[in-house]
Amino acid sequence: MSDLFEFYIDGAWVKPHGTAVETVVNPSTEQAVARIILGDSHDVDRAVGAARQAFAGFAASSLEARIELLQRIIQAYQRHSEALIEAVHLEMGAPLSLARSAHVPAGLGHLVQALNVLREYRFERRVGNTLVVREPIGVCALITPWNWPLNQLTCKLAPALAVGCTVVLKPSERAPLSARIIAQVLHEAEVPAGVFNLVNGDGPGVGAALVRHAEVDMVSFTGSTRAGVAVAKAAADTVKRVSQELGGKSANILLDDADLPSAVRHGVLGCMRNSGQSCNAPTRLLVPRAQQPAVIEIARQVLAQVCYDDSNPITAIGPLANAMQWERVQDMIAQAIAEGSRLIAGGLGRPAGVERGYYGRPTLFADVTPDMLVAREEIFGPVLAIIPYDSEAEAIDIANDSPYGLSGYVTSADLERSHQVARQLRTGMVHLNGARADQAAPFGGYKQSGNGREWGESGFDEYLESKSLFGY
C-alpha cells in the first residue's frame, strides 16, 4: 500500500496542511491500495494563489508555445499509459481490458483533440468595425468524478491549458491514483510552475472551498445533479462561471423496424459497460409493446454472457466503484422491486460465484411504466429498465418525460426515420443506430443534466471570455 501524502502545487510536490487520511480501496478485492491526505482551505488558498500568480504569464504565452506544450503532454501521457491502465483498474475497478481499450484512450483522445482544435481556433474575429477577442477566463477549478476519471479530467484540463488558463484540480478522493500520474505527466512535460495544481480532498472540504474562492474565476464540475446544485449555490456569491455535466437517464428507443438481435445486444451491453456507471448510459430501453417478449429473451441471453474475470472483454464488467455506490445500487433495486417493477434477471446481492468485491448483479426489469422509480432516477449501476410503448409519438413522449436530458439513442432500419425521432428528443446528444460518441462534437445535456458543453471546439469556449474592441 502506498502513502500518497503530497499535493502538487506551484511546480513541486508539497506537504499538505490538511491532516485527515483517506484510504483508497480496490473495489475488486476490497483491499486498501493507497492512502491520501484530504486537504483543507489552507491547501486550497495555496494552490489558488499559485494559479493566480502564474496566470498572467501563461495567458500571454504564444499559440506556438501552447501547441508545443500540448505535444509534450501527449508524449508524456503515452509513456505513462501502462501505469494509467493499472491505476484506473485499482482505483475504480474497471476491468483491465476496459481500462486499456476505453479509459486511457479516452484521456489521450481529449489531449489530441485539444491540440487539433488549438491549431485552427480563431481567438480573434472582425464584426463590422469591432474586433472580438477571446481571452482565457482565468483560474479554473476542475472537480472530477470517480467513474471515468481520465476522460473527465482530460476533457477539462486539455482545453483549459490550450487557451491559456491556469487550473487547480480536485479529483475524486475515491479515485485519486490516475490524477497523481497526470500530475507527473504534466511535470515531465514542463508545464510552467503554478499553471497546474493538484489538491486531494472531499467535496465538503476542498470542493466547497474551491467553489467559494474569490480568486477562482470558473468551476468545471462533473458529478451528480444533487452535488451540482450545491456547487452552483456556493459559486453564486462570487458570480463565477460554472459549467456542469451532471446526471442522466438516457432513453434508448428501438423503433418497430429495428434489427432486434443487434439493437438489443448493443443496448444491453451499452447499459452494462463500466458497470453502468456512465452518466450517458442507455438505462431506459423503449420497445414496441408487441416486441417486448422477444426483447426480454434476447436481453436475457446477453446478460447470461456477462463475466466478472475479464475472460471475455466484450461482456466483462467490473465492480461498482466503491462500497457506498454498491449500497446505493442495492437500495435502488430493492425499491424498484417493492414498487412493482417486474424483475427479469439479476436483483439483489453479488453475482453467483463472486464472494468478494463490490460487484452488482446485472439486473433487468420489464413492463416498467414511466412513473416508476427505475424509470426516473439515475441508479448508476448495471440496471436496465424495459419500457413498452404503443406508438412512435408515445415513445418520444416517454423519452422526454424526464428531469434529465443528457443523451438519447434511436435505432431504425430507416436512417431518415431515426433523424426525425432524434430531432424531437430534448437531449444534448443522440446516438443514431449505434453510432459512437465523437470527441470533436459537443458533450453535454439539457435540463438537470447540466449546462455548458465539453469536448472539441465547444470545450474551448467554456474557458474563454469575449472582449469587444469597438472602432478597432
Indicate the domain borders of the chain: 2-246+449-470, 251-438
CA–CA dist 48, 214 (Å, integer): 10
Q: Give residue 48's pLDDT.
A: 99
Residues in CB range of 338: below 8 A, 6 or more apart: none
* CA-to-CA dists, residue 74 to 28, 71, 113, 381, angstroms: 30, 5, 11, 32
Q: Give residue 366's pLDDT.
A: 98
Q: How many CA within 13 A on the CB side of residue 380?
A: 21
CA–CA dist 35, 2 (Å, integer): 6
C-alpha cell at 7: 499535493
pLDDT at 1 over 90: no
Q: Is 279 a catalytic residue?
A: yes
Hey, which bits of 102-195 come out as E strands?
Answer: 124-127, 130-136, 139-143, 166-170
User: In which band, very low, low, confident or very high, does the pLDDT at 397 lie, cut at 50, 70 and 90?
Assistant: very high
Across the chain, what does the average pLDDT equal? 98
CATH fold of the domain at 2-246+449-470? Aldehyde Dehydrogenase; Chain A, domain 1 (3.40.605)
Helix axes 63-79, 149-163, angle to 10 degrees: 160
pLDDT at 358 over 90: yes
What percent of the chain clears pLDDT 90, i.e. is strictly above it?
A: 100
| Given the residues 173, 279, 454, 457, the one annotated as active site | 279
pLDDT in tens, 190-211: 999 999 999 999 999 999 999 9
pLDDT in tens, 273-296: 999 999 999 999 999 999 999 999
Q: Of 444, 389, 335, 320, which is closest to residue 25 (Cα–Cα)?
A: 320
DSSP 433: T
The arithmetic mean of pLDDT across residues 372-398, rounded, is 98
> Is 251-438 CATH 3.40.309.10?
yes
Our CA dihedral for 219, 224, 228, 234, rounded to 10 degrees, sits at -90
| Given the residues 245, 454, 457, 462, the one annotated as active site | 245
The helix, strand and coil proportions of the chain, stated in percent and rounded to the nearest 5, come to 40, 25, 35
- What pTM was computed for the model? 0.97
| Other CB atoms within 10 A of residue 72 CB | 16
What are residue 169's DSSP bridge partners?
A: 142, 198
DSSP 282: -
pLDDT in tens, 118-138: 999 999 999 999 999 999 999
Q: Of 251, 224, 184, 289, which is closest to residue 410 (Cα–Cα)?
A: 251
pLDDT in tens, 402-456: 999 999 999 999 999 999 999 999 999 999 999 999 999 999 999 999 999 999 9
DSSP assignment of 355-414: -SSS----EEEES--TTSHHHHS---SSEEEEEEESSHHHHHHHHH-SSEESEEEEE-SS
Contact 216, 197 (CB under 8 A): no
pLDDT in tens, 3-41: 999 999 999 999 999 999 999 999 999 999 999 999 999
Q: Is 190 a catalytic residue?
A: no
User: In which band, very low, low, confident or very high, does the pLDDT at 231 lie, cut at 50, 70 and 90?
Assistant: very high
Q: Give residue 408's pLDDT.
A: 98
